[in-house]
Amino acid sequence: MKASVSSVLLALGLLFRPGQCIPKRGNEPWSVILCKFKNSHYEPRTAEWIREWISAGNNPDTVESFFSSVSNGLYDIKGSNVTEWLKLPWSRHDVYRMALTDRRLQSNKKEKPFALFDKAKQLCISFAQLHGYELNEKKITIINSEQTAVYGNENGVLLSPKLIFTSVLAHEMVHSLNIGHSYSDRYKRYDDAYDLMSTANAHMRPSTYGLSGPGLNGPHLNYLGWLPMDRIIYFGRDGQMNRTISMSSLSVPHRLTSDSLLILIPYDRDEPANVYTVEYRTVFGNDASIGSSGILIHKVEKFGDAFYSHLITYVNHVYDELTAGTEWISFLHRDEHYNFQYIRVKVENLQKKLHSAEIRVISTFDPSACRKYEQRIATERKDTVDSVCLRHNRAITYKDIEVQRKRNLFYKLRATFGQNECHEGMRWRAIDAYDYVCVIPERVAIEQVTSWRKKKRHSFCYSGQKRRRAFEGDNVCVSSEEFERTQKENMDAYKYLKHLSFFNGQDKIRAIHSALSETQIKIMSTTRDRAVLSRILNPLMPSEDISNNNDVAVDKPIEHEGYAESKELEKQGVRTAEGGDVNAAIEIFTRAISTCDINPSAYNNRAQAYRLVEKNEEALADLNRAIELSEEQGKSGCQAFVQRAMIHRLKGDDDAARADFEKAANLGSSFAKLQLVALNPYAAMCNKMLSEVFQNLREGKECQESK
Ligand SMILES: *[C@@H]1O[C@H](CO)[C@@H](O)[C@H](O)[C@H]1NC(C)=O
Ligand SMILES: *[C@@H]1O[C@H](CO)[C@@H](O)[C@H](O)[C@H]1NC(C)=O
């Protein structure tokens, strides 16, 4: 009964739900589930506080306000609601065990480290439903222990006590809009200080509910369709290659300004969405804490299926923003006449108080020119493609002609452009300046001519008419046929988008028709940060996962007749433990120890198994022995310190934990170094260091290179 009711609701809800397509527009209420483990009464914040934080009242600091300001009112989460604190009938350990025995969670190697959090989300969500809460499709689960913030496609966002503040929550929510982390050309990931998707390394501002902001960078806003199409310039489309452009700050509401908000400067003759973007950010609103007002340049570039944005730094990677009088230049390549093609951006004037800037852009990018290493070869055609650029003189194929046609018509083909470009021949419907729905040219809205911004609300419709509802707030009265047609255009829009892919990551995009989709489109997101975070924050995480590369031996050699056999037994034990029978594994490790009682790694492994069945005293005894046998050196010494530190941490003895982590860190464990930082939730959240360390973890360098 319950199931059928909710599927009816979903089907009805579909019409007005945003999210059938990228860009993202409309109202989308979220549900927040407050969830305590059985063994802890701790409530980091009252339900009332969280309710206010999410959406209540007129406070400009709520999460709701953040989204409506960053999207200029296009996307809001009005109607989101929050449960009371619910107490699970399971302790954290119970949930952890359930996660360990959940085949589905354990079978996906990438997801394994998050099994605890995934399980917690699953259980909390089901438990809330059991209590009669109707939950929205987008969910946030807040638990009362751990330190993490993660997003997963299936069960949404999870937050833990220390990370209950706006920047973190909004960051995770934006992942659900198909966006990964932002980058710079300096340290790569998490290094775009002007973008929410680099939270922790970004310019966050103080707010009533902890740190908030900053806004999103220009490329992200373009991707989401949160910039008006008539205020984005695709440079060169009008034939002008040297011009001064007046820009308005992206930081202030669009309605308060009137100049261009984003310039897209193409540099790739075969991928028109590869562009440098120019934007102006000022100290205002979500961006109240940015260092100084300035012009930012990002490079948007396609890798694999997805586009990425890198903040471009200049002068030895020191400065992110260009200030008045500064100039940036990028040389592209030499053309057939041996001229360099280049792009120059000069900041002529910044009016910080007025949030306006004057930028001169000069580009000699010419998509139809051949490169210096190419030859121009005549085609004997009389249309636009009378010659093509080839490296070697050879027979011209149809493909050569097509490639050259697109280069020659490069600007003419840009009726639509940027991340929301439509397939060739389609146009933006443009009922208003944010209406990026791709339609056939005949369907381009006529009324756009009569000013988007002065549209009146129709107070009633004649009989037979309906509100069009092309988007939230569109109350124009139209015939039923027109209404149906508009709705169908909305539903189909994603089919005509040229770049329907995740942004800043290689993940799958969230199900287009998620409510109707039979097959769950699985796993997007931030698998990588989650891996790191879980390794840091989950004290029971077997350390075998941390250093899964056992090939490189840095332990001192052991001479003992039983050693080889002991090693074999160890491997067998590990397999048995991985198969789920930890007690049998303990027996096998015990045999490995009796076969060679000076083999520290057998003690390490048995300790790990003991920890899994919560025999921490036994584990501790083994680790002490492993440390002794390894003489505090090598991989075994390092692993034993890491494990012992985790037990100390579990017992709440942070000082002892720190001492052991320090020893492990000195033996080269970057995991231990991170643990040392982990007490600081910002550091633990999302920062560049994490991604570097994660790389090491993946490459199996952990506990191998002593420094
Ligand atoms: C949110 O409000 C709706 C409608 O009042 C209700 O059915 C639902 O249970 C509420 N959900 C939560 C999480 O409080
Ligand atoms: C661009 O235009 C300005 C002003 O019209 C002119 O002074 C300058 O020489 C031009 N630059 C190039 C490279 O054409």
Ligand 2 site-directed mutation target among 339, 362, 366, most atoms within 8 Å of CB: 362
Question: Going by CA atoms, what residue is nearest to atom 14 of ligand 2?
Answer: 242
- Is any atom of ligand 1 closer than 6 Å to the C-beta of 448? no
- Does 678 have pLDDT greater than 70? no
Q: Which atom of ligand 1 is closest in space to residue 132's alpha carbon?
A: 9
- Is any atom of ligand 1 closer than 6 Å to the C-beta of 83? yes
680: Cα separation from own chain's centroid: 22
Classify 188 in phi/psi space as left (phi over 0), alpha (psi -120 to 50) or beta: left
Tell me how far the alpha carbon of residue 362 lies from the centroid of ligand 2, in angstroms: 8
* Model pLDDT for residues 159-204, shown as the tens digit of each residue: 999 899 999 999 999 999 999 999 999 867 788 999 999 987 899 9
Q: Which atom of ligand 1 is closest in space to residue 31's alpha carbon?
A: 13
Whole-number pLDDT of residue 661 = 85
What is the identity of the amino acid at 267?
A: Y
Burial label, 451 (beta-carbon count in 10 A; 0-12, 13-18, 19+): exposed
What is the identity of the amino acid at 352?
A: K
Whole-number pLDDT of residue 20 = 46
Ligand (nearest to CA of 342): 2
Q: Which atom of ligand 1 is closest in space to residue 29's alpha carbon?
A: 1
Whole-number pLDDT of residue 12 = 28
pLDDT band at 476 (very low <50, low <70, confident <90, very high): confident
pLDDT band at 573 (very low <50, low <70, confident <90, very high): confident
Question: Going by CA atoms, what residue is nearest to atom 8 of ligand 2?
Answer: 242
Tell me how far the alpha carbon of residue 134 lies from the centroid of ligand 1, in angstroms: 5
Q: What is the largest CA-CA distance in the chain?
A: 95
Helix or strand holding residue 245 (H, E)? strand 242-248
186-195, 406-415, 477-486, 501-510: lowest mean pLDDT where? Answer: 501-510
Tell me how far the alpha carbon of residue 359 lies from the centroid of ligand 2, in angstroms: 13
CATH code of the region 538-681: 1.25.40.10
Backbone angles phi and psi of 440, in degrees to 5: -70, 155
Q: Which atom of ligand 2 is closest in space to residue 344's alpha carbon?
A: 13
**Cα R_g (the chain), whole angstroms:** 29
Distance between CA atoms of 375 and 392, rounded to whole angstroms?
7
- Does 563 have pLDDT greater than 50? yes
In terms of DSSP bridges, do strands 327-334 and 340-351 run parallel, antiparallel, or are they unpaired? Answer: antiparallel
Tell me how far the alpha carbon of residue 523 lies from the centroid of ligand 2, in angstroms: 50
Whole-number pLDDT of residue 257 = 96
Domain extents in the chain: 25-176, 218-381, 538-681
Q: Which atom of ligand 2 is closest in space to residue 242's alpha carbon?
A: 1
Question: Going by CA atoms, what residue is nearest to atom 11 of ligand 2?
Answer: 242
Whole-number pLDDT of residue 457 = 55
- Is any atom of ligand 1 closer than 6 Å to the C-beta of 81? yes
pLDDT band at 60 (very low <50, low <70, confident <90, very high): confident
Question: Going by CA atoms, what residue is nearest to atom 2 of ligand 2?
Answer: 242
**Do residues 175 and 662 touch, judged by C-beta distance below 8 A?**
no
Q: Which atom of ligand 1 is closest in space to residue 33's alpha carbon?
A: 13
Query: What's the mean pLDDT in 397-406?
Result: 93
**Which residues have CB under 6 Å of ligand 2?**
242, 362
* Model pLDDT for residues 354-393, shown as the tens digit of each residue: 999 999 999 999 999 999 999 999 998 888 899 999 998 8
Tell me how far the alpha carbon of residue 26 lies from the centroid of ligand 1, in angstroms: 20
With vertex at residue 323, the alpha carbon angle to CA 317 and CA 326, rounded to the nearest 5 degrees, is: 75
Q: Which atom of ligand 1 is closest in space to residue 32's alpha carbon?
A: 13
Question: Going by CA atoms, what residue is nearest to atom 3 of ligand 1?
Answer: 134
17-26, 85-94, 189-198, 272-281: lowest mean pLDDT where? Answer: 17-26
- Is any atom of ligand 1 closer than 6 Å to the C-beta of 624? no
- Is any atom of ligand 1 closer than 6 Å to the C-beta of 136? no
**CA of 497: how far to CAs of 230, 426, 492, 494, 508, in Å?**
19, 9, 10, 5, 16
Ligand 1 site-directed mutation target among 32, 35, 54, 81, most atoms within 8 Å of CB: 81
**CA of 564: how far to CAs of 376, 448, 569, 575, 596, in Å?**
68, 79, 9, 17, 9
Whole-number pLDDT of residue 239 = 96
Distance between CA atoms of 24 and 150, rounded to whole angstroms?
21
Nearest Cα neighbor of 192 from 181, 176, 178 is: 181
- Does 689 have pLDDT greater than 90? no
Whole-number pLDDT of residue 459 = 63
Backbone angles phi and psi of 259, in degrees to 5: -90, -175
- Is any atom of ligand 1 closer than 6 Å to the C-beta of 133? yes
Burial label, 530 (beta-carbon count in 10 A; 0-12, 13-18, 19+): buried
Ligand 1 site-directed mutation target among 86, 134, 137, 140, most atoms within 8 Å of CB: 134
- Does 545 have pLDDT greater than 90? no
Distance between CA atoms of 145 and 93, rounded to whole angstroms?
12
Question: Going by CA atoms, what residue is nearest to atom 8 of ligand 1?
Answer: 134
Tell me how far the alpha carbon of residue 226 lies from the centroid of ligand 1, in angstroms: 29
* pTM > 0.85: no
Whole-number pLDDT of residue 360 = 98
Task: Report long-range pairs for 550-554 (Cβ below 8 Å, ≥24 apart).
Answer: 552/700, 552/704, 553/635, 554/634, 554/635, 554/704, 554/706
Tell me how far the alpha carbon of residue 56 lies from the centroid of ligand 1, in angstroms: 15
Higher-pLDDT residue of 688, 167? 167
235-239, 333-337, 463-467, 652-656: lowest mean pLDDT where? Answer: 652-656
Higher-pLDDT residue of 581, 633? 633
Whole-number pLDDT of residue 78 = 93
Distance between CA atoms of 190 and 397, rounded to whole angstroms?
44
Ligand (nearest to CA of 34): 1
Distance between CA atoms of 628 and 60, rounded to whole angstroms?
58
- Cβ neighbors of 224 (< 8 A, separation 6 or more) are 22, 23, 24, 71, 75, 177, 179, 216
Tell me how far the alpha carbon of residue 135 lies from the centroid of ligand 1, in angstroms: 7
- Over the chain, what is the mean pLDDT? 83
Query: What's the mean pLDDT in 300-326?
Result: 91
- Does 225 have pLDDT greater than 60? yes
Whole-number pLDDT of residue 129 = 92
74-88, 451-465, 611-625: lowest mean pLDDT where? Answer: 451-465
